[in-house]
Amino acid sequence: MRTGDAALEVKESVATIMKSLNWHILFHFPEVEQQKDGSSCGLFALAFAFDVCDRKDPSLREYLPDNFCPHFRTCLIPQEITSFPSRKITMAVKPRSILRRVKIFCHCRLPDSDDDMVNAQNVLTGITSLALE
């Protein structure tokens, strides 16, 4: 089920990679093809991840999951992954997406975890004030 949210660990990883100077990071959860069985979620995740790395938009692709297992086996032998079987689809309107804005906290540049976080700037100001007294 698509919730349009990410675990705190994912938010922290994205914030760390992006090293954004902004006070928010915008997460974009596109509508993508869903598995129709109960066992191909990992292969779909690999297909999506590979396409994103290859600068292809998974929300604009129709995947051919019946060919995922044979394709993955052929990737394992030479230890070289290639695009999973899919075809580009053309649409008049791009599939809908869920957008979530995640607040980035103070100078550590990590997302707000709703825990009792200490604002580093306030701590530094307090320490400086004490040192000057």
Mean pLDDT per 10-residue segment, the chain (133 residues): 67 72 78 87 91 88 92 91 88 74 69 58 49 50
Predicted pLDDT at 66: 93
CA 32-29-110 angle, to 5 degrees, is 150
Predicted pLDDT at 128: 46
Nearest Cα neighbor of 63 from 81, 50, 75 is: 50
SS3 of residue 74 by DSSP: helix
Predicted pLDDT at 44: 92
CB atoms within 10 A of CB 121: 10
d(CA 58, CA 30) in angstroms, rounded, equals 8
Q: What is the pTM of this model?
A: 0.60
Predicted pLDDT at 1: 43
Predicted pLDDT at 2: 55
